[in-house]
Amino acid sequence: MLTLLPRIPSYYLFRAAGWQRRLPLNLTLSVTFRCNSRCRTCNIYKKTSGELDLDEWRRVFRSIGKTPFWVTISGGEPFLRADLPALVGSLYDICRPSIINIPTNGLLVQRIPEWVDEIARHCTNARIVLNLSVDELGGRHDEIRGVPGNFAKVMETFDALKQFHLSNLTVGFHTVISRFNVDRIPDIYRYLIALGPDSYVAEIAEARKELGTIECDIAPDLQAYARAVDFIIRAQKGTHFKGIGKITRTFRAEYYQIVKRILKEQRQVIPCYAAFASAHIAPDGDVWACCTRAESMRSVKQNGYDFTRVWFSKEADQEREGVKKGCCWCPLANASYTNMLFDLKTLLKVGGNYL
């Protein structure tokens, strides 16, 4: 993380005055919208979209170069792509990110551990973070996720992954806090922590254009959410994560507080750096500031697979202007990590929590 600090001033100037225009250091790649879950909090499986093939992704990676520090490989369910190990390997070989995060529903019990082992062994100098989605326990999880037997399968996947002793692999759990489980977060958390994950994170169910949930009644109310995350913050003070898990915990503790303020005040409570320091590429090559807005700046496919041509286009500048003016606000965790780096007061709090 210390290697990021010298890069912060240039991004600050990029947002404040348009100087030293930079490529994003936090990048999310949705490699597919296909999904084998039928979650009550997500309708992405209903979407249809073309997908960049492996060679197309490689051309995009070459245009981005070695700027990204943190890359999330998302979906849909990313492990449904038959070429996922080769895709992640190409990302690593060309862009050399320090952190590669892959969320998964854990359903593909045979495929996921085998491919994660292959990915981690190839990407030797990157931290591979695998987050298994668990929103409830037992049959309650199956009901929220819409797949009978899901809980048993994700637990089997977790057990297999924990057999690996790879120094660059972090295996954790991820919970979407929704109106369907918000009152049971303490029970869910205690159960999962007892299994010994390397990390635990939670994210609020939200209205996202990407997920098709704009009109869906899935979010918990502010009071219930506050009780849930306040419990997590207290409980994690006594949980001894190591390495990236410890860093993630300290960022999350402050992130939960930020989300409470966003929900209450309905504004950007710290400046957003989406379209400045963070970006999202959709399966078909559309470039977004983030998956909440999901407004296409342009498509890399229609611009010679040159990300920089899209990133520095007039459409991208217009998107940046809207973000800078505070026309939107959301509790998106991935973008919030980046935002926290560029807010001195928040960053000092994170540093204090870590120490």
Residue 173 pairs with which residues in a beta bridge? 132, 200
Tell me the pTM.
0.94
Number of H helices, E strands in the chain: 13, 8
Rounded-to-integer distance, Cα 79 and Cα 83, Å? 9
Phi, psi angles (nearest 5°) of residue 323: -65, -45
Delineate the domains of the chain, giving CATH numbers in brackets: 24-354 (3.20.20.70)
Residue with tokens 């909090």: 41
Rounded-to-integer distance, Cα 138 and Cα 172, Å? 18
Q: What is the DSSP string of 136-196?
A: SSTHHHHHHHT-TTHHHHHHHHHHHHTT---TTEEEEEEEEE-TTTGGGHHHHHHHHHHT-
Show the tokens assigned to 9. Answer: 């001033």
Strands 278-281 and 287-288: antiparallel
CB 220 within 8 A of CB 228: yes
Spell out the per-residue pLDDT of the chain, length 355, in tens: 667 778 888 999 999 888 888 999 999 999 999 999 999 999 999 988 899 999 999 999 999 999 999 999 999 999 999 999 999 999 999 999 999 999 999 999 999 999 999 999 999 999 999 999 999 999 999 999 999 999 999 999 999 999 998 999 999 999 999 999 999 999 999 999 999 999 999 999 988 878 888 888 999 999 999 999 999 999 988 777 767 777 788 888 889 999 999 999 999 999 999 999 999 999 999 999 999 888 999 999 999 999 999 999 999 999 999 999 998 888 888 888 899 888 888 888 777 777 7
Residue of 30, 42, 26, 76 whose CA lies nearest to 209: 42
CB 347 within 8 A of CB 255: no
Residue of 283, 308, 343, 330 whose CA lies nearest to 81: 283
Show the tokens assigned to 289. Answer: 């500031």
Show the tokens assigned to 321. Answer: 């202007």
Show the tokens assigned to 77. Answer: 């369910």
